[in-house]
Structure 1
Amino acid sequence: MSFLVIGECVADIVRAPAGSGAADRVHPGGSPANVAYGLARLGRDVTLLTQLADDPSGRLIADHLKGAGVRMALGGTPARTPSAAVGLDDRGRATYTFDIAWTLESGEAAAAAPAHVHIGSIAAVTAPGADAVLAETERLRGRATVSYDPNVRPGLMGEHEAAVARVERCVALGDLVKASDEDLAWLYPGEDPHAVAARWLALGPAVVLVTRGADGSLAVTRRHTVAVEAPPVTVVDTVGAGDSFMSAVLDTLAGQGRAALGALSAEELTGLLARAGTAAAVTVSRAGAQPPDRTELDAARAEFALRSGRAS
């Protein structure tokens, strides 16, 4: 099964704590790029339609992605590779300050006939490149399933009402949508995530997933609502956790058509959330967006299952 991911690459510059004497760390990043990388690490055939400059950060990111097996399709070359200054609090949670422009051009040659298209983050809502993202998704949607992750970055979303409208347009294109509880809190302040998920289902998706950090995750379909706890883990930083979750979701559901997604059983949804939550747990246990490969993921699943058995 082939995947096409459309979206930005970003150089994540993780700031060293003040007074620590440590140097800043630069990691390849960008939510869609992380998803593509995670899929490739899990052995999937994936192409990333993106933009990269011919500069040190661009070469770092390209080498990182190609090293995992991601094929690159460039829709234009920006003056510089986008970057994000990443600050970490005392619990390893990340905040971002972006320097990014997104001017994606048409990418019809990116993948001849992908079975699945993934979009999201900055690239799906930031003009002028967002128009190309949506046009390409609409062009392919007749023969490919679609997933979407808003990955809200408030400083880049613009006026709130217009941002919500853009996000909901993308939700309506998706067969599977994932959002964090923080995304939903910004988009719909004070609303219950269950209610938002139900409303998004009415726009068209078959499955809506909500990640809740250390509190686990939630899956909502027209038939079932399932919640799963997060595996216990020592957090180094949260960079790329949601993207690793998304990659594992797509890997688990590979080959499922629209009808099959809507017919997932409660047991299947529970297994989906548990496997994706494990991938996220592995990622937060090490620095930067470093998702597990299939061997690491299987080993972590077995370890967490063993711990759970001992705890009970």
Structure 2
Amino acid sequence: MILVSGESLIDFTPISLGDGYAYVPNPGGSPYNVAITLGKLRARVYFFGKISYDPFGEILYSNLIKNNVDTSFVLRDKYLTTLAFVILKDSEPYFIFYGDNTADTMLKEEEIPFIDSQKVKILHFGSISMIREPGCYVFEKMIFENYKNCIISFDPNVRPNLIVNKEQYLSRFENWVSRVDILKVSLADLKWLYGEEDLDKIAEKFINLGVKIFVVTLGKDGSVAYQKSNYVKVPGMKVKVIDTVGAGDSFMGGFLYYLYKLGKTVKKEISNLSLEELKNILIFANSVAALTCTRRGANPPNLDEVEKFMSNLYY
């Protein structure tokens, strides 16, 4: 099974209303969106995080159940839910977060679940849950305790407005990456982290740190995945874009789902994926992300929708 760990929150996404905008609440949070994507694709997925008992928390919790995500690892508490307002700039989402000492941040070390590596094959982490105290240290500890026995998947989903010290973040980030098997980033992430450094050189750096598969999403231009001595690039897909909120998360969910479907859930197996297998994974993940862009908010497609969409693709 796949265990996704991290924040859950409410995204307020804008809709036109006369001459202005109104904001509509939608379940969100990068890891949460990954779990929802996997559930809608019918993977066996669990979510670990702390969710409020407040009305927004009830929305988040019931949405997990509605979308086939097992809540056995979910913790509930009295703290309020984190809120995020989505500002669209040049069709790209910019997030403003509201919430200190909110439920998703208030995890304690003693609340870390036991991970049975015979059952849990892939652990996914990422985004703002890795930097918001005190809960961030719980997720970091889970990576350090389990990277030898489980596939670790990581998507930093960098939010610069929440990072106080870039140097310290970069040091922690590379420490996490040294325990990661699958690393997925966006071009925006890389530009903020490493400036204009050459993509191939960055890929080489991460592979040398121990990453087995390094994936970069390229927006409308598709995605590229690097292995130790090979790489494969898949172009983007033309769709009518409503907004791109959650596209990267749904891509990540699609990527992990296809590994799950192939039965490639052991470290050695993902190290030895063929280029054809890797290409097919990217095509599937691109399709999931493309469909997410055709609807408002982080609302990934189900498996039937993806298969129907892919039946009209030609590669």
TM over 0.5: yes
SS of 2:60 mapped into structure 1: helix
Matches within 5 A, 1:225-304: 225-254=231-260, 255-256=263-264, 257-304=266-313
What are the superposed Cα offsets for residues 68-108 of structure 1, whole Å, 9 maximum, x if unpaired? 121223456362101110012463x2111011342322344
Matches of 2:299 and 2:24 in 1, distance apart? 14
Tell whether 2:175 aligns with 1:169: yes
SS in 1 for 2:185: strand
Match of 1:105 in 2: 108
SS of the residue 1:152 aligns to: coil
* 8 Å contact from structure 1 (residues 6, 117) kept in 2: yes
Given that residues 10 and 82 in structure 1 are in contact (C-alpha distance below 8 angstroms), is that contact kept between their aligned partners in structure 2?
Answer: yes
After superposition, what is the alpha-carbon deviation per residue over 1:148-187, rounded to whole angstroms, capped at 9, x for unaligned?
A: 0000000112201111112112211211110000000011
Deviation at 1:44, TM superposition (A): 1.3
Structure-2 separation of matches of 1:140 and 1:279: 28
Displacement of 1:281 in angstroms is: 0.1
User: In structure 2, do the counterparts of structure 1 residues 145 and 260 end up closer, same or farther at CA, with 3 Å as the change threshold?
Assistant: same
Bigger Cα displacement from structure 2, 172-181 vs 140-149: 140-149
In structure 2, the CA distance between the partners of 1:104 and 1:301, relative to structure 1 (3 Å rule), is same
Matched, 1:12 2:21: no
What is the CA–CA distance in structure 2 between the aligned matches of 1:20 and 1:77, rounded to whole Å?
A: 40
TM-score (norm 1): 0.92
Q: How far does residue 63 in structure 1 lie from its aligned partner after superposition?
A: 1.2
Q: How does 1:107-126 map to 2 (within 5 A)?
A: 107-109=111-113, 112=116, 113-126=119-132
* CA drift at 1:126: 2.5
Structure 2 distance, partners of 1:79, 1:134, is 22
Distance in 2 of aligned mates of 1:48 and 1:247 = 13
Alpha-carbon distance in structure 1 between the residues aligned to 2:174 and 2:106: 21
1:183-202 correspondence to structure 2 within 5 Å: 183-202=189-208
Match of 2:138 in 1: 132
Q: Distance in 2 between matches of 1:165 and 1:99?
A: 26
**1:229 Cα deviation after fit:** 0.6
Contact 1:76 1:105 in 2 (8 A): no
Letter in 2 for 1:179: V
| CA distance 1:14–1:21, shift in 2 (3 Å) | same
Contact 1:76-1:104 at 8 Å conserved across structures: no
Q: What corresponds to 1:67 in structure 2?
A: 66
Q: Distance in 1 between matches of 2:115 and 2:268?
A: 24
Are 1:125 and 1:166, in contact at CA under 8 Å, matched by a contact in 2? Answer: no
Moved more, 252-261 or 146-155: 252-261
Matched with 2:214 is 208
Per the normalisation by structure 2, the TM-score is 0.91
> 1:298 Cα shift?
0.8
- Counterpart residue identity of residue 70, structure 1: V
Aligned residues between the structures? 304
User: 3-state DSSP class of the match of 1:222?
Assistant: coil
Contact 1:4 1:46 in 2 (8 A): yes
Corresponding residue number in structure 2 for 1:79: 79
Find the residue that maps to 1:15 and give its secondary structure.
strand
Residues 125 and 167 in structure 1, CA contact (< 8 A), matched pair in contact too: no
Find the counterpart in structure 1 of residue 50 from structure 2: 51
Q: Which is worse superposed, 55-64 or 205-214?
A: 55-64
Are the structure 2 counterparts of residues 228 and 240 from structure 1 closer, same or farther at C-alpha, using a change threshold of 3 Å?
A: same
Deviation at 1:272, TM superposition (A): 1.3
CA distance 1:71–1:20, change in 2 (3 Å): farther
CA distance in 2, matches of 1:207, 1:262: 7
Shift of 1:65: 1.2
Equivalent residue of 1:173, what SS?
coil
CA contact (8 A) 1:283 1:290 kept: yes
Structure 2 unaligned regions, length at least 5: none
Cα deviation, residue 219, structure 1: 0.5
Which deviates further from its counterpart, 255-264 or 226-235? 255-264
Superposition RMSD in Å: 1.8
User: Aligned equivalents of 1:88 and 1:108: distance in 2?
Assistant: 36
> What is the alpha-carbon distance in structure 1 between the residues aligned to residue 76 and residue 172 of structure 2?
23
1:137 shift after superposition: 2.3
Aligned mates of 1:44, 1:271 — CA distance in 2:
17
The runs of 5 or more residues in structure 1 that have no matched partner are: none
Is the 8 Å Cα contact of residues 193 and 210 (structure 1) preserved in structure 2? no
